[in-house]
Amino acid sequence: MTLKTPEEYLKSIQRDVNIYMFGEKIKNFWDHPIIRPSINAVMKIYELAHVEKYKDIMTTKSHITGEIINRFTHIHQSTDDLIKKVQMQRLLGQHTACCFQRCVGFDTANAVYSVTYEIDKKKNTNYHERFKKYWTEVQQQDLMVDGAMTDPKGDRSKRPSEQSDPDVFVHVKEQKEDGIVVRGAKIHQTGFLNSNRAIIMPTLTMRPGEEKFAVSFGVNTDEKGITIIYGRQACDTRKLEEGKLDVGNYKYGGQECFVIFDDVFIPNENIFMNGEIEFSGELVNRFAGFHRQSYGGCKVGVGDVVIGAAALISQYNGVDKASHIKDKIIEMIHLNETLYSSGIACSALGHQREAGNYEMDMLLANVCKQNVTRFPYEIGRLAEDIAGGLFVTLPSEADWNSKEIGHLLKKYISTCDGVSPDDRYKLLRFIECMSMGVASPSYKTESMHGAGSPQAQRIMISRQANVDEKINLVKKILDIE
């Protein structure tokens, strides 16, 4: 059995990392009040893998070693694996109400697995066996692995090779006999600090002359030359205040990092692409497809919690029997289940790659994520509507607990008999957090930009939709030559 406990995972990330926040280097980051909720969210993955009722979803058998592994380290072997992935992500969203940060590395691994196989077949390289060995270690040690794709990109009107500063794209600075030296940066890196390792990918399709940017490799997150700068989130400094109620979701949270690679050495055995430009776009597309599939699970789980919060606040406010409130909650459920349907559909219609692993239906995965860029905004809007404006005008927790004025606040925030004003306060802060605070980092904004902004999905939908075939259907029905 190769399953870490939450405590073993926590111990594994307690290392010397070059991490900065608010202009200062952070020591013992795992104890920092702003960072710790994101670690708690990851620990929930390790916890649920040991719960008997969830083992079928949270764990599976490795096709490489035959051992039982955490599903987040699995290479999909069937459409059932793809479906269970989405079910697992919904479950974790329900338990944390935030981003639990392990999906990106999971999706990266499955994309790299098939692409390296195809590079080797065409180029006679040995990337695939390198990756299998690398990933076997991940499975056997139940490591947390991040996936890193997004570069700063500099001037968006210019190609990587045209930038005045090449460092705005991760690239190979120097080729050595035993490895490569890389420079650049990756931004929006979900859970990088909380990961043991990371797999780096190119951020777009590279062209002739851009070979140095077509690079993929594995690296330890505490490797020499890596600097991590912790990203800010709305209301994040509330975690530094006394008390916890003003935080909203005070147990769990997401994490985004700005990661800089300053002449980082990567040994040959950890390199999975090095100049093969014709495969760079395919790696990007496959990762994006897997990750857009993921949003049909994780955001649905978070949506379940938002719906629950809206229903509960309606009870606390005494309006849960009103027909328009019921209708709004039904609409929230309809939208959320539509997202889930997309995630399940693209999984059920998955197919096997030449490498043997299974991949979701690319068109439906992009349709899934396109819906995710919209529906959570409406779900969030309806939650705000049901909650009322008080969730953004509440006085602070310090006022709430004040000997002088606290009793007055509790007197005037009280609603129905039997409803604790403390519970109502806590719930209103939670809705504020989910709507605009440090939820995922934000339930809505992450839904918009995570796994690519809306236009990225629309481009893929246009490529996958086969409109010409639809035109031919009409011609056949109408006998048009």
Catalytic option among 74, 76, 188, 291: 291
Catalytic option among 98, 257, 298, 368: 298
> For this structure, is 237 an active site residue?
no
- Residue 415 counted as domain residue: yes
Residue 371, domain extent? 281-472
pLDDT, one tens digit per residue, over 390-404 is 999 999 999 999 999
- Residue 355 counted as domain residue: yes
Catalytic option among 76, 79, 99, 359: 99
Catalytic option among 190, 203, 221, 373: 190
> For this structure, is 103 an active site residue?
yes
Number of domains comprising the chain: 1
Strand runs (DSSP E) across 361-477, as ranges?
A: none
Catalytic option among 117, 252, 295, 358: 295
Pull the structure tokens for residue 210: 């851009």
> For this structure, is 67 an active site residue?
no
Comparing 26-35, 101-110, 228-237, 312-321, which segment has the lowest mean pLDDT? 228-237
pLDDT confidence of 252, banded at 50, 70, 90? very high
- Residue 286 counted as domain residue: yes
- Residue 188 counted as domain residue: no
203, 270 in Cβ contact below 8 A?
no
> For this structure, is 278 an active site residue?
no
Quick one: pLDDT at residue 436? 82
144: phi then psi, degrees, rounded to nearest 5 = -85, 120
CATH number of the domain to which 375 belongs: 1.20.140.10
> For this structure, is 282 an active site residue?
no
Residue 75 has pLDDT above 80, yes or no: yes
pLDDT, one tens digit per residue, over 333-379 is 999 999 999 999 999 999 999 999 999 999 999 999 999 999 999 99
- Residue 22 counted as domain residue: no
- Residue 423 counted as domain residue: yes
Geometric angle at alpha carbon 13, from 69 and 215, rounded to 5°: 75
Catalytic option among 256, 276, 359, 384: 256
306, 443 in Cβ contact below 8 A?
yes
Catalytic option among 46, 74, 103, 116: 103
Helix axis angle, 362-372 to 375-387, nearest 10°: 30
443, 376 in Cβ contact below 8 A?
yes
